[in-house]
Amino acid sequence: MKTMLHRRQVVEMLLKDRKDLLVVAGLGSTAWDITAAGDSPLNFPLWGAMGNAAMIGLGLALAQPARRVLVITGDGEMLMGLGSLATIGVQQPANLSVVVIDNERYGETGMQATHTADGVDLAKVARACGFASARQVRGPGQLAGLRGAIHGARGPHFAQIKVLAEKLPLVLPPRDGGVLKSRFRKALLGEAADLD
Amino acid sequence: MKDWPEKLFRTLKESGVRQVGYVPDAGHKRLIELCIADKEMRAVVLSTEEEGIGLTAGAWLGGVRGALLMQSSGVGNCINALGMTRECRFPLLMLITMRGQFGEFNPWQVPMGQATPGVLSAMGVVVHEANSAEAIAPMVDAAARLAFGSYQAAAVLISQAVIGIKSFQEQAAR
């Protein structure tokens, strides 16, 4: 079944009424997607460290067990850190979700095909690694269930959402890493965060 | 001084470290066991050392201090991720047991072991070299202060002279 999903609409839907959800986004298109849905100090969009988004989410989820943590990243970024799915499977963080927005392309470098274009099934990998739920999403009817899992059900959750390969306008978050870190900590931990 | 891992562990606890990422390593065996056994600590086994750079960054975003244990061969796996550490000024405390350095028998360990201080320095990590068992805990204490107090990446390299020179013959005899 071919997907009809548009990535910006998917991400906007997942982040709507997000309350105190903590969000980490992989570099490139998914960082622009979460920013298009509305920039927030509780977003940590990456501009580098490719392959590390899910691990940042794990460290954060273990540090903040009472909060929900969502990692939104691309298929190319996830493929570079595939081992982190095994690491997360071992730790079983109940408050962590990893969502891969899968357009089967390296979007920032010329839309070259990734492994998922040839059928590599990331949801099956996540399931084999011990995620509490792991699904492939191809239609809008599956999004409400996923949203519910991200915001409440016992995880860790994984979703590979097949989306159209679109070239979209850039919506850029702040670039300064120190600023992104400090605003996140202040919003999460309070004004005194940097007096620690 | 065979109890350096116990002293090092106490230093980590006193420094407020509560999350420890590690790739198993013979030199860190005792320290890893102590971290796993401690109820206040979360020990996270990694599939590659690079994951630990993200793990500890995420922990800091969440208000928790982390440390990363690895062998010198794992330092090379961390290089690009260390760019994030530097750009974001994330605190980072790396405890690295050295191979390829002092009486090494495996030639494949030598290139990365010899390059370890230079590679870390090139990525902006402050390098402390502990050449005796007595030096380790005070040096880790100083590195932790530098990391969490001054938002720096700091590494303590534990010399192969402290850990002992491994050979396959010795291991087989155990």
pLDDT digits (tens, 9 = 90+) for A100-125: 999 999 998 999 999 999 999 999 99
Measured between alpha carbons, how far is residue A82 from residues A60, A125, A184, B173 in Å? 18, 9, 26, 37
Is B89 exposed, middle or buried, given 0-12, 13-18 or 19+ CB atoms closer than 10 A? middle
Nearest to B23 by CA among B97, B85, B115: B97
Gap from B170 CA to chain A (nearest CA, Å): 31
Q: Check residue B165 and give its pLDDT.
A: 72
Any CB–CB contact under 8 A between B29 and chain A? no
Any CB–CB contact under 8 A between B62 and chain A? yes
Please list the ranges in chain B whose pLDDT falls under 70.
167-169, 171-172, 174
Contact partners, residue B84, CB within 8 Å, separation at least 6: A46, A48, A49, A52, A177, B53, B54, B57, B90
Contact partners, residue A145, CB within 8 Å, separation at least 6: none
Of A48, A56, A193, the CB nearest to B58: A56
A52, A92, A175: best mutation site toward chain B, by most B Cβ within 10 Å?
Answer: A52
Of B47, B59, B148, the CB nearest to A83: B47
Helix, strand or coil for residue B167?
coil
Judge: B19–A181 Cβ closer than 8 Å, yes or no: no
**Residues from chain A contacting residue B53 (CB–CB below 8 Å):** 49, 52, 55
Nearest to B59 by CA among A4, A3, A55, A91: A55
Rounded distance between C-alpha atoms, residue B10 and residue A7, angstroms? 48
Ramachandran region, residue B124 (left: φ > 0; alpha: ψ -120 to 50; beta: rest): left
Any CB–CB contact under 8 A between A185 and chain B? yes
Q: Which residue has the tokens 């244990």?
A: B69
- CA A160-A71-A22 angle, 5° bins: 145
Longest dimension (CA), chain A: 53
Any CB–CB contact under 8 A between A65 and chain B? no
Judge: A63–B64 Cβ closer than 8 Å, yes or no: yes
- Counting one residue from chain A and one from chain B, the pairs whose CB atoms sit within 8 A come to 120
Q: Is B74 in contact with B135 (CB distance < 8 Å)?
A: no
Q: Check residue A25 and give its pLDDT.
A: 98
Q: What share of chain B is helix, strand, coil (3-state, %, to 5)?
A: 55, 20, 25
**Residues from chain B contacting residue A56 (CB–CB below 8 Å):** 54-55, 57-58, 61
Judge: B61–A60 Cβ closer than 8 Å, yes or no: yes
Q: What is the token pair recorded at A188?
A: 């999460």
Q: Is A21 in contact with A149 (CB distance < 8 Å)?
A: no
Any CB–CB contact under 8 A between B45 and chain A? yes
Q: Residue A98's beta-bridge partner residues?
A: A71, A158
Any CB–CB contact under 8 A between B16 and chain A? no
Tell me the residues of chain A between 138 and 177 that have a Cβ less than 8 Å away from chain B: 177
Q: CA B143 from chain center: how many Å? A: 11
pLDDT in single tens digits along all 196 residues of chain A: 687 899 999 999 999 999 999 999 999 999 999 999 999 999 999 999 999 999 999 999 999 999 999 999 999 999 999 999 999 999 999 999 999 999 999 998 999 999 999 999 999 999 999 999 999 999 999 999 999 999 999 999 999 999 999 999 999 999 999 999 999 999 999 988 877 6
Q: What is the pTM of this model?
A: 0.97
Rg (CA), chain B: 15
Q: CA A74 from chain center: how many Å? A: 8
**Residues from chain A contacting residue B148 (CB–CB below 8 Å):** 196
Rounded distance between C-alpha atoms, residue B57 and residue B63, angstroms? 10
Gap from A66 CA to chain B (nearest CA, Å): 11
**Residues from chain B contacting residue A24 (CB–CB below 8 Å):** 58
Q: What is the token pair recorded at B22?
A: 């590690």
Of B42, B61, B87, the CB nearest to A44: B61
Q: Is A132 in contact with A158 (CB distance < 8 Å)?
A: no
Gap from B133 CA to chain A (nearest CA, Å): 30
Is A6 exposed, middle or buried, given 0-12, 13-18 or 19+ CB atoms closer than 10 A? middle
Give exposure, B75-84, as e/b (b: 16+ Cβ within 10 Å): bebbebbbbb
B51, B56, B60, B151: best mutation site toward chain A, by most A Cβ within 10 Å?
Answer: B51
